[in-house]
Every structure is written in structure tokens, then in C-alpha cells.
Structure 1
Amino acid sequence: MSTILVTGADLAPQALALLKDHEVVFAGKTPTEDDIVALSRKHNPVAIIVRYSKVGAAAMDAAPALRVISKHGSGTDTIDKVAARERGIDVVAAVGANAAAVAEQALALLLACAKSVVSLDARMHAGHWDKATHKSVELAGRTVGVIGLGAIGLRFARMADALDMRVIGFDPYAKNLPSYVATVDLETIWRDSDAISLHCPLTEDNRELVNAGTLAKCRRGVIVVNTARGGLIDEHALLAAVRSGQVMSAGLDSFAVEPMTAGHPFQGERGLVLSPHIGGVTSDAYVNMGVAAARNALEVLGRQAVAAA
């Protein structure tokens, strides 16, 4: 019986049912890259389902039987795709499986920023009543720039349109977009957006896409939301922009280094609404991503078996 390694402590029962003809090995809650290498060497899996940690060339070389690396989610930046391609290993992702969950988190962060939900809650619990002095931002009629128009970005755009926001979007690969999304270049995103929401994968070309230079081009008081990858933002530049008022507020679900450790400059900072990369962590998305990751892995293995016959 061939082995499938899961870089996490669990997988949805529906996904495990699909993998019943394989031995499934779990790496634990917080596996390191070294853990993945050691388990690959010990079990020689034909497939790795990636939940946490990175999978690099060392893990691939430790498992000569490895044929496919399947992401439990849509972002494959934790997988060395160049190394996989060089070794003839397929990399697949559960695209769209968590789209509803992440888009809802992005909307929640946008609303929390615009309506000062977190700070008002803290003030109320401290006994204050700020009705006479507080003004929230009304999103209707304002422009939201959506960077990345895949399954998550488009779902978020549809919700923003339902709020009567003007939606502009940038994605050089998107086609057949709905009429309520006006496609523009990045310069227009920076210049015209009252809020910007990131929904693109992280690549070397767009690393720190949001930086001191691009933030300076934005309207003063812009809202920034990131439920994609932390590496898309220069965190020092964003913090400076929040403190100066160039950015009114930022809602962040992902960070350059995860998990965030004590003493991070974002902690305790007014103007930042933070969540621990849980945009895609719902009971429904857990099942959807697990099933999709299992099916994707089995599809590749089956296709290769037929080709080898």
C-alpha cells in the first residue's frame, strides 16, 4: 500500500474516505521543513498533501516515489515549484475550495476598518459612549480596488458590488469578467481606490507590491485589506502609512512571518485589525479543501498509472 503524507495533524473524514486505498501519514500540527524531509525519507510517499510548512527540494529528493504535491488550499507559494518541475512532480491546488470563506473574511475586515468595529467595541467595554464624536466611513459609492480576480477576488467583488461600491480590478490573466468589475492598470488602482483588497498569489514579481512608493500614490485615508499572502506587503511601510494617516486602517489576515510572535510592531497598533490567517478556516472550507486536495492527488496518480501501463 502506497503512502500519502499530510503536512498537518488531520484531514476531513470525507477526504480520508477518498484515500482509503493508501496509508495516510500525518506530520502533526506544526511540522517544520526538517520534519517533512524526515517523514518523506521514512515513508517514501507517492503524494504529499500540503497544509502547513514548506515543501522544498530536500523533501522531494527524500521520497523517490513522490509523484504529486497537492495543496490543501489555493496558494502554492510554500511549494518549490521549480524543484518539482525539474523532478517531474506535479503540483496541484484546491483552487476555489475556500473562496467563499476567504472572500467573507476580506469583507469582514473591510467593514471592521470602515466602521471602526474593534476600537468602538473596546471603548464600549471600557464604559465610553462615543456617539457624539465618532464618524464611520460609508462604503456605498466609494471605489474598491481588487488586485487578483480569481475565484476569491471575484466573489469579494460581487459582495462589494452588492454594497453599491464601484469595483475596479487588476489581473492580467483574468478573462470574461462580470460587468460590475472595471478592469484597470495598477496605477489606476493606487490612484482611484478608497479601499484596496489583495487576492493575488505571491510571486517574486509582486513581492512587497504594497510598499512606501505605491502607498504614497494612494488617496489619503485609503483602507488596505490583505487575505492573500503577507509577502505582498512591505510591513514597515504599511505601519508608517497607518501612523501618518495615509492609510486610515488596514485589515490583515496574513503576514510576512507566521505565526506572528510577541513584540511584533503590529501588536497594539491602532488602525490595524488583525486575524491569524484564518480566512479559509471554516468547517465548510475544511471539508472542501480536503476533498479537493485528495481528489487532485488521486487524479494525478491515476493519470500517471494509466500512462505507465
Structure 2
Amino acid sequence: MSKPVFLVTGADLAADALALLGRYDVVYAGVKPTEADLVALCRRHDPVAMIVRYGAVNAAVMDAAPALRVISKHGSGTDTIDKSAAAARGIQVVAAAGANAAAVAEHALALLLACAKSVVAMNARMHAGHWDKATHKSVELEGRTVGLVGLGAIGLRFARMADAMGMRVLGFDPYAKDLPAHVQPVDLATIWRESDAISLHCPLTDDNRGLLNAQTLAACRPGVIIVNTARGGLIDEAALLAALRSGQVGSAGLDSFAVEPMTAPHPFHGEPRITLSPHIGGVTADAYVKMGVGAARNALAVLNG
């Protein structure tokens, strides 16, 4: 008799995670699974669990897998899973929250420093044979204020690093409790008004889509640095580009985008004050193992009651 199936919406899974799934067959959907791919695989294998790495899992996918009991995110963001459809079908949605917190927080700090210190621009100038010591001035972060939107595992780890650099840390998160002393809880209006840099660490919801838009960016301090390692839908990209070109936003470090993968040409391409990375904040060798193990354990916990 064949084993029940775990469907992984990706091309691989960490060996440590696979070791936990010995009682199951593991089927891979590949690196860029479409809805049609997932529906076909669900019809063929009728999985009891899915581990979601890439692609979206909607009602059509769920309906193709009547045995499906749990959808487990390989990471923390579940916005690519239709949670309402899952709830209506009695399917639990779980996430490996915190598994990639160190990786993402470090990447957010790297983007903040790249923006403040003009790392990318100076590197290009040096490789072109220039020496701009007499004319360039970077931003010193000590004594500056950073505003964090989202104070989960990633946001709090970033806050600790910012505090260690001597920054004042403001934070907004209506669900956060028992915050450390170095994080000052404030409302969003205060984040916009008082922050020299803003870093986004919250999930994407219908309520906060376009959180940074023409109105909120105009309420920020002139020259503010924007960092986003969360979800691209949190930012109105056209409004951000306009604010960068006007000087209202000094620079931006972006790891996530409204449409992924980003296709060329894109309005951000060639903008000298935007530092881009392809949503790899959580992609490290260590985080890959942590997220895989977390996703497998979370799914097994549901299956085992």
C-alpha cells in the first residue's frame, strides 16, 4: 500500500526535514509551480499535507486534494495561501514563524547600512576608477531614529541590532506584548513623523496593503530611508518612486516587490538610490534547514493530532 503524500511546492527540502517524513512519500512541484501544476499534482497524488515554498495555494488547488489536512508554510509569511478557503474546508494553515528571523533581520540591517553608507554607489564609482573621498558624505546611524512596523521575531531581532548601534528604536505592532526596554511602542503617525529610517517587518493583509503610499510617505521626515524585507504589497511602488525622485525619500533598500519575480524593464531599474535584492533575505543555508524542519514539524503536529 502506498504511503500518504507530502506535496512540496518547490524543488527540494532540507535533508533534516526529509528525515522527519519517513512515513510519507514526498512529491516536489518544482521551482516555479503554476496553479495548473499544483492542481494536476494534487489530483494525481491527493496529498495529506503541503509544504509551501513557492507559488500560491488557492481554493482550486485545495479542491483537487480532498485528503488535504494541513498547509505548512516554509517560512513565516502565509499571504500566498488562501486562508479563508482553507478554513472553509477544514484545512489548517501553519507557519514556521521565527525560523528565518536571524537571516531576514541581518539582511534588513545590510540594506539599511547599504543605503546609509552608499555602499553600492561607492563600489560602482571605485570600480570605474573614481576616488570620491573629498565630496561624499554618508549618513551616521548612531543617534538616529529607526521606526519598525511589525515586532515579531524578525522585527525584535532587528530592533536589538539597531539598539546596539546606538539608534533610538520606535515600534508599531498592535499584537506585540512585553516589549524590551529598548523598543518604544508608538502609533503609525509617530513612526512616520519621527523616524530617520523605517523598516517593515509585518505580514501583508488586506488592511495594510499599500501601507506606504503617497500620503504616508509625505508625512515622513524628508530624506527618510525605507527598508522592506517583508512583502512588496506593503508599498505603493509608484508612490515610492515619486518620493525618491522628489527627495522626500532619501534612499530605499528593497527585498520584496508587488510582483515577483521582478520582470525587466521595471521602473526601479537604474534608480541610483534604490538598492535591490531578489527576495533572498531569508535565504541562507542555516535558514533553509530551520524553515524546512519547522514546516515539517508543524505539519506533522497537525496530522498527529
TM-score (norm 1): 0.98
CA deviation map 1:110-141 (0-9, x unaligned): 00000000000000000000000000000000
Q: What amino acid sits opposite 2:124 in the alignment?
A: A
Q: CA deviation at 1:38?
A: 1.1
Provide the residue aligned with 2:153 in structure 1: 151
Deviation at 1:201, TM superposition (A): 0.1
Counterparts of 2:40 and 2:179 in 1: how far apart (Å)? 45
Percent identity for Structure 1 against Structure 2 = 78
Letter in 1 for 2:272: R
Q: Deviations over 1:200-229 (max 9, x none)?
A: 000000000000000000000000000000
Q: Tell me the distance in 2 between the aligned counterparts of 1:59 and 1:206.
A: 26
Q: Does 1:236 align with 2:238?
A: yes
Q: Distance in 1 between matches of 2:57 and 2:180?
A: 36
Instruction: Kindly state the Cα deviation for residue 37 of structure 1 after the two structures are TM-superposed.
Output: 1.1
1:78 matched to 2:103? The reply is: no
Amino acid of the structure 2 residue aligned with 1:240: A
**Does the alignment pair 1:200 with 2:194?**
no
Of 263, 266, 276, the residue aligned with 1:264 is: 266
**How far apart, in 2, do the equivalents of 1:217 and 1:87 lie?**
43
> Equivalents in 2 of 1:33, 1:261: separation in Å?
20
Q: Distance in 2 between matches of 1:16 and 1:259?
A: 27
Superposed CA offset, 1:28-81 (max 9, x none): 111112211111111100000000000000011000000000000000000000
The letter for the 1-side match of 2:264 is A
Q: How does 1:185-224 map to 2 (within 5 A)?
A: 185-224=187-226
SS at the partner of 1:158? helix
TM alignment of 1:280-295, pairs within 5 A:
280-295=282-297
Residue 45 of structure 2 corresponds to residue 43 of structure 1: yes
Within 5 A, what are the aligned runs for 1:64-103? Answer: 64-103=66-105
Per-residue CA deviation, residues 11-37 of structure 1 (Å, 9 max, x unaligned), is 000000001110000001111122111
User: Normalising by the residue count of structure 2, what TM-score does the alignment of the two structures yield?
Assistant: 0.99
> Aligned partners of 2:205 and 2:173: how far apart in 1?
14
SS at the partner of 1:135?
coil
Q: Which whole-Å CA distance do the structure 2 matches of 1:220 and 1:97 have between them? A: 35
Measured in 2, the distance between the counterparts of 1:208 and 1:160 equals 25
Q: Separation in 1 of the partners of 2:36 and 2:225?
A: 39
Aligned counterpart for 1:165 among listed residues 155, 167, 177 = 167
1:111 aligns with 113
What corresponds to 2:142 in structure 1? 140
Q: What is the aligned-residue RMSD (CA, Å)? A: 0.4
Structure 2 Cα separation of the partners of residues 30 and 89 of structure 1: 23
**Separation in structure 2 between the aligned mates of residue 245 and residue 267 of structure 1, nearest angstrom:** 18
> After TM superposition, which residue ranges in structure 1, 4 or more long, deviate above 3 angstroms?
none
Structure 2: 5+ residue stretches without partners: none
2:249 is aligned with 1:247: yes
Give the SS at the match of 2:297.
Answer: helix
Query: What is the DSSP-based 3-state SS (H/G/I as helix, E as strand, rest coil) of the residue aligned with 1:182?
Result: strand
> 2: distance between equivalents of 1:44 and 1:101?
34
Matched with 2:131 is 129
Match of 2:280 in 1: 278
Give the superposition deviation at 1:286.
Answer: 0.0
Aligned position for 2:65? 63
**Corresponding residue number in structure 1 for 2:19:** 17
C-alpha distance in 2 between matches for 1:236 and 1:171: 26
Aligned residues: 303
- Match of 2:142, SS state, is coil
Distance in structure 2 (CA, Å) of the matches to 1:11 and 1:214? 40
Match of 2:27, SS?
Answer: strand
